[in-house]
Structure 1
């Protein structure tokens, strides 16, 4: 798969850099479809809670994100939400965009990021910031959907196992 390349200037260095787009070239993200998204905190900092006994325990920031995720289907009335999980430093979720809708996946993610950032900043955590972009995958069939739902459900367990594997290697 080839990715479109964007050029941008960094404010500090004033040098021209190339950044690869994470989107499918030529794909219409306002098309009615099911999308699996991952949105990460900048520098993968832990802001939303912790994994304890293979379960995600959300803190106040995690609750803010959870409430905003649920609010998406109220704000975008033709958008449906499926399986999701909030992890200590990222979110995985499935978004369903209605065929007749004129909303893009990018608009939905921007709204979620902006609203969550504002509320977390209002709560006093001014250093909270999202990663610049997000990851998406167009869900192609029932098998793909099944595997993604399982991946989302098992994410806290995988986090726990990876952390314990790292500790046991010392």
Structure 2
């Protein structure tokens, strides 16, 4: 029996669609690689500075991306990524159709579930890879959690609430039991 982990992405949503996405990427085992918070202010380690730097490099590698609010925390990063329409003002596809994956061969299945160029997953994979490669070159012990969390931002009110949450995250660190 083959085991496939279930995707945590929204079923049927094409993550190449021009939209705002709230992303959280955690370190493996929530290790505090990126620095520490004192009196509500995040002090970045060298690995934290690299996490900040590579995040801000994303638009240099993806023409369809605009960055919004972002913060590096001791063991995770929060950011808002806006995927933009292409130069014609369109996007590659609409909603994906549900597909039965049981009766197709492994190569076709992998093609269907693999991240598509310009998608949120491709952008995050590239970011995580660049940071990890830098850490390996510096001989730092470092690992990301294997997945990332995303939230499709539904409207401008939600966008502004999430921006505020990201900005306030260092100040709220002590009371945030999740991390």
> What TM-score comes out, normalization by structure 1 length?
0.82
Q: Contact 1:56 / 1:156 at 8 angstroms: preserved in 2? A: yes
Unpaired runs of 5+ residues, structure 1, are 1-5, 9-18, 164-170
- Residues 117-132 of structure 1 mapped to structure 2, 5 A cutoff: 117-125=132-140, 127-132=141-146
Distance 1:147 1:162 in 2: 17
Distance 2:173 2:139 in 1: 28
Q: Contact 1:53 / 1:160 at 8 angstroms: preserved in 2? A: no
Q: Contact 2:64 / 2:85 at 8 angstroms: preserved in 1? A: no
- Residues 2-151 of structure 1 mapped to structure 2, 5 A cutoff: 7-8=3-4, 19-100=5-86, 103-125=118-140, 127-151=141-165
Distance 1:162 1:130 in 2: 20
**Relative contact order (C-alpha < 8 Å, sep 6+): which is higher?**
2
CA RMSD of aligned residues (A): 1.6
The Cα of 1:118 is off from its aligned counterpart by 0.5
Distance 2:38 2:139 in 1: 25
Aligned residues: 147
Q: Contact 2:22 / 2:152 at 8 angstroms: preserved in 1? A: yes
The Cα of 1:162 is off from its aligned counterpart by 4.6
Q: From the two aligned structures, give the one with the greater strand fraction.
A: 1
Distance 2:176 2:153 in 1: 26
Distance 1:139 1:149 in 2: 11
